[in-house]
Amino acid sequence: MTDNDVKIIGRSNTALPKEETDDEIRARYKSYNHIRSWRSSNCYYQFYSSRGTTEFVGYKHNPTGVIFMLHAKRDGIPGGKQLYLNRLMSATIEWHKPSECSGFQAMTTEMDAIDSKRKNWDIVKLNVKSQFVDDFDQFYICDGSSYTAKGDFSAIMEVTEVLQKGCKTIGQMKQVKNMQPIQASDKIQEMII
């Protein structure tokens, strides 16, 4: 066997998920300005107040459970829900094309260090775990441009839906879900006396 037969990808800098108490997890994410984002800026923002705690996009490595996030807007309507004049409800969820985001190369390098082909990485939709919803407005996990912290988010996030199996190609994510027409719930009855 020669060096050409084996591709050496190096060691991952991401620690595998470990057992921590909820209080230890809260203390780690409440550390102002101590966590770095994928673009190496300090994380000193939360995005709870306007973004909510649901429907983030992330990347999950199935064998280890590691979850990465790259970018999450702090503004806009949570989930992108819009009410149209024709009384139909439509929900649109959209994320930037990751390769155009600062820090994408750093994140994919770390993904490749864990799994070089990225076949065991999935693109997933994430919600904040229920036990941290009330604390999430105090978690400093993004920098001033809404890029998220380096490292594993599996302690505070849970997968609600797999959007794409495998991550060799990561494009812009967009989902549009048409809802049922809005129905009037109160019917006025005329009374003739």
Residue 162: which H helix or E strand, with range?
strand 157-165
Q: Which residues pair with 177 in a beta bridge?
A: 91
Q: How confident is the model at residue 43 (pLDDT cuts 50, 70, 90)?
A: very high
User: Among 48, 68, 8, 64, which Cα is nearest to 132's?
Assistant: 48
| Residue of 177 and 40 predicted with greater confidence | 40
Q: How far is CA 178 from CA 57, 159, 185, in A?
A: 20, 22, 20
pLDDT at site 106: 93
pLDDT at site 149: 93
Q: How confident is the model at residue 76 (pLDDT cuts 50, 70, 90)?
A: very low
Mean of pLDDT values over 132-144? 90
Mean of pLDDT values over 120-129? 91
Indicate whether 73 pLDDT > 80. no
The residue behind tokens 């812009």 is 172
Q: How confident is the model at residue 10 (pLDDT cuts 50, 70, 90)?
A: very low
Q: How confident is the model at residue 85 (pLDDT cuts 50, 70, 90)?
A: low
Tens-digit pLDDT profile for residues 147-178: 899 999 999 999 998 988 998 888 777 655 55
pLDDT at site 19: 76
Indicate whether 191 pLDDT > 70. no
pLDDT at site 86: 55
What are the sequence ranges of the domains in the chain? 20-181
pLDDT at site 23: 92
pLDDT at site 115: 87
The model's pTM is 0.74
Q: Which amino acid would we find at residue 140?
A: Y
Indicate whether 99 pLDDT > 70. yes
54 CB-near residues (< 8 Å, 6+ apart):
78, 79, 127, 128, 160
Torsion of CA 4, 9, 11, 15, to 10 degrees: -150
Q: Which residues pair with 82 in a beta bridge?
A: 90
Q: Which amino acid would we find at residue 107?
A: M
pLDDT at site 120: 92
